[in-house]
Amino acid sequence: MRIDILTLFPQFFSTPLQSAIFQRAQEKALVSFNIWNIRQYTHDKHHVVDDYPFGGGAGMLLKPEPVFEALEDILQGQTAKTDPVPIILTTPQGEKFSQPLAHKLAQHRRIIIICGHYEGVDDRIREHWVTHEISIGDYVLSGGELPALVISDALVRLMPGVLGSEESATDDSFSGGLLEYPQFTRPAEFHGLKVPDVLLSGNHAKISAWRREQSLLKTASQRPDLLEKACLSSKEKDWLSGLISGTNRETPSGKLPG
């Protein structure tokens, strides 16, 4: 996959893109990044990229000309009809980024991300070019650079070959619609804190049942909204509604652990 990022702060990306998963994926030639400095597409002496909004109001807006020129340059030779490239604008007004959207975008050979300007962008950029407006959450950041990295990370880790097979299972468990169960490594006891006995039992059926229950409990307490779409058996649904109404201490597989 090729990821083009248009930004006013190209230096923002230097260290993250040379680290961890981004570095690994680029070394394996599974992904390539091109960071474009929007300011380089200005033609005035002071390289001005923003201007006051027509009609008044606070703040400055990213001007259309440098972004249009940058996109025309980046997309040279790209025939939109045969191979449309998603053009993403990072904005708090966008669709909430999610794992299903990451999977959808990861299917493309190429994507472009325009890092939104902290105070807004001229709407003609959105109207003429943008195919996806994406927000990474209901809070306002000072620019679109962190969202661009968040989106890129979520996509890159889905590229076949980027993660080892053991790591990729983690994604499957989130994509299954429930939060992950708690995990522990050695030592089995640390500062008086013990790893649950079931995990040391070697009984794989019991371990799987315990993990499933923990996922259900965690999801019910931290993200109950996810339960609506998750794939639960009717036994699990009954158990959870019993827990919520306080009438149930049995687990789907037996007694509650501990």
Residues labelled as active-site residues: 92, 119, 157, 172
3-class secondary structure, 163: coil
**Token pair belonging to 252:** 């789907």
Question: Which letter, b or e, does each residue of 16-25 get, where b requires 16 or more Cβ atoms within 10 Å of its Cβ?
Answer: bbeeebbebb
Contact between residue 5 and residue 36 where contact means Cβ atoms under 8 Å apart: yes
**Token pair belonging to 9:** 């702060």
Residue 10 or 182: which CB sits closer to ligand ADE?
10
Binding-residue total with ligand ADE (CB under 6 A): 12
Contacts of 225 (CB under 8 A, 6+ apart): none
CA–chain centroid gap for 238, Å, is: 32
Is residue 152 involved in binding ligand ADE (CB under 6 A)?
Answer: no
Residue 80 or 140: which CB sits closer to ligand ADE?
140
Mark 65-94 with x for binding to ligand ADE (rule: CB under 6 A) and - for no binding.
-------------------------xxx--
Is residue 64 involved in binding ligand ADE (CB under 6 A)?
Answer: no
Is residue 54 involved in binding ligand ADE (CB under 6 A)?
Answer: no
Is residue 136 involved in binding ligand ADE (CB under 6 A)?
Answer: yes
Is residue 135 involved in binding ligand ADE (CB under 6 A)?
Answer: yes
Q: How far is the CB of 20 from ligand ADE (least distance, A)?
A: 21
Is residue 251 involved in binding ligand ADE (CB under 6 A)?
Answer: no
Q: Which of 16, 64, 66, 144 binds ligand ADE (CB under 6 A)?
A: 144
Q: How far apart are CA 101 and CA 95, in angstroms?
A: 9
The torsion of the CA quartet 96, 98, 101, 103, rounded to 10 degrees, works out to: 170
Residue 71 or 115: which CB sits closer to ligand ADE?
115
3-class secondary structure, 116: coil
Q: How far is the CB of 208 from ligand ADE (least distance, A)?
A: 37
Is residue 224 involved in binding ligand ADE (CB under 6 A)?
Answer: no
Q: Which of 100, 137, 224, 254 binds ligand ADE (CB under 6 A)?
A: 137
Q: What is the full DSSP assignment across 192-247?
A: TEEPPHHHHS--HHHHHHHHHHHHHHHHHHH-HHHHTTS---HHHHHHHHHHHHT-
Is residue 139 involved in binding ligand ADE (CB under 6 A)?
Answer: yes
Which residues lie near ligand ADE (CB under 6 A)?
A: 90-92, 116, 135-137, 139-141, 144, 147
